Amino acid sequence: MPILINAWKKGVEPIRIKGRGISKGSVGGEILLSEDPISFLGNVDPQTGKIVDPEHCLFGKNIAGKVLVFPHGKGSTVGSYVIYQLFKNGVAPVAMVNLECEPIVAVGAIISEIPLVDSLESNPFEMLEDGMNVNVNGNEGWLETKD
C-alpha cells in the first residue's frame, strides 16, 4: 500500500490503523520495524536495549525509545521479565505493535506499562517504514501516523 505511505510523506491526513489493544497507554514515537520475530531472552541486551543476535535483521540497532513493530515474540517465558528489565533500565521501547501478540510479550508489556497493539486491520509491514512517527493507543487499540 505505497499510496498510503506516500500520502503520509506529503503531509496529507494522518492514517489510523485499527487493531486490538493489549496493554494500556498512549504514546508517540519513531518506528523501528523488524520483519523477524523477537526473543527478548537472547536477542536483546537488557542493559542497553541493543539487538545482539547477529542473525537478527535488527542486529546492532537499539530498541530504546522506539515504537517497536515486529510480527510476534518467540522463545522463553523469561522474555516477559527481560522486557520488564528493559523498562527498569530505561531502555525499553515506548510502544510495541505485533501482527499477533503472544503471552510472553503481552505480560512483559503489561507489567512494564508499555502500550501494545496487535491484530491491525492492515499489514503494518506494507504500510509503515522505519523512522515514521506514529501514535500508538493501547487503550483503544490503534496506531496512527503523525502529520
Question: For residue range 44-58, what is the model confidence (pLDDT) as tens digits?
Answer: 999 999 999 999 999
- Determine the angle formed by the axes of helices 79-88 and 103-112, rounding to 10 degrees: 20
Model confidence at 61: pLDDT above 60: yes
Residues spanned by the domain of 102:
2-145
Model confidence at 1: pLDDT above 50: no
Strands 26-33 and 95-98: unpaired
Rg for the chain, CA atoms, rounded: 14
Check 26, 76, 119, 122 and give the catalytic one: 76
64 contact partners, CB below 8 Å, separation of at least 6? 48, 49, 86, 90, 91, 92, 93
Q: What is the pLDDT of residue 13?
A: 77
91-109 average pLDDT score: 98
Task: Examine the residue annotation and report whether 39 is marked as an active-site residue of this protein.
Answer: no
Q: How far is CA 102 from the centre of its chain?
A: 13
101-109 average pLDDT score: 98
Three cell numbers at 73? 515474540
Question: By C-alpha distance, which of 110, 79, 64 is closest to 118?
Answer: 110
CATH of the domain at 51: 3.50.30.10
Model confidence at 146: pLDDT above 90: no
Q: What is the pLDDT of residue 11?
A: 58
Model confidence at 2: pLDDT above 60: no
Containing 79, the helix (H) or strand (E) segment is helix 79-88
Q: Determine the 3-state secondary structure of 49 from DSSP.
A: coil
Lowest model confidence (mean pLDDT) among 12-26, 47-61, 131-145: 12-26
Domain count, the chain: 1
Question: Cβ atoms within 10 A of the Cβ of 16, count?
Answer: 14
7 contact partners, CB below 8 Å, separation of at least 6? 13, 15
pTM of the predicted protein model: 0.91
pLDDT digits (tens, 9 = 90+) for 110-125: 999 999 999 999 999 9
The Cα–Cα gap between 6 and 60 comes to: 28
